[in-house]
Amino acid sequence: MNGADHQLSDLEQHLLNDFQRDMPLSATPFADMARQLGVTEETVIASMQLLQENGYISRIGPVFRPNRIGVSTLAAMSVPEHELEPVAHIISAFPEVNHNYEREHEYNLWFVVTAANEEQLNIVLHDIELQTQYSLMSLPMLEDYFIDLGFELKWAYKHA
């Protein structure tokens, strides 16, 4: 994380913690968040951009239940350790990729890809293989389990 030296402000802590779930579903979500936090919409947007630039968050957007809107798959790649970060950046650049993460396994890079339909999904998977120069294994969902990935963040330091 390149923001390791950046000490989070109270506002940033609230943005990271309070809106993991229940982000306002409106045409103006950042303005709604700003009203709740007592700041301007511009302050919220600038803070979110800073959090993203410093690597605290990778994306801001909704997470839909799998295959309710479009289609999705879990994919895995076996990538040499020294190429893991650059390959992960290539994959994260695809707007169809929700998230990716490292695992301790022969297949050490895992990610979720969502697309409008099966044809588009296959095109994206093929493009990822072309751009990374690594084969991937697609693991489409067979059974749906809901896991809430939000959690209460605990801060290790106090502000003066």
CB atoms within 10 A of CB 115: 19
DSSP conformation class of 84: H
The structure tokens 């106090």 sit at 158
Rounded to whole angstroms, the Cα distance separating 144 from 64 reads 12
Nearest one of 159, 158, 153 to 18, comparing CA atoms: 153
Handedness of CA 97, 98, 102, 104 (dihedral sign): negative
Contact 110, 73 (CB under 8 A): no
Give Cα 32 distance to the centre of its chain: 22
The catalytic residues are 99
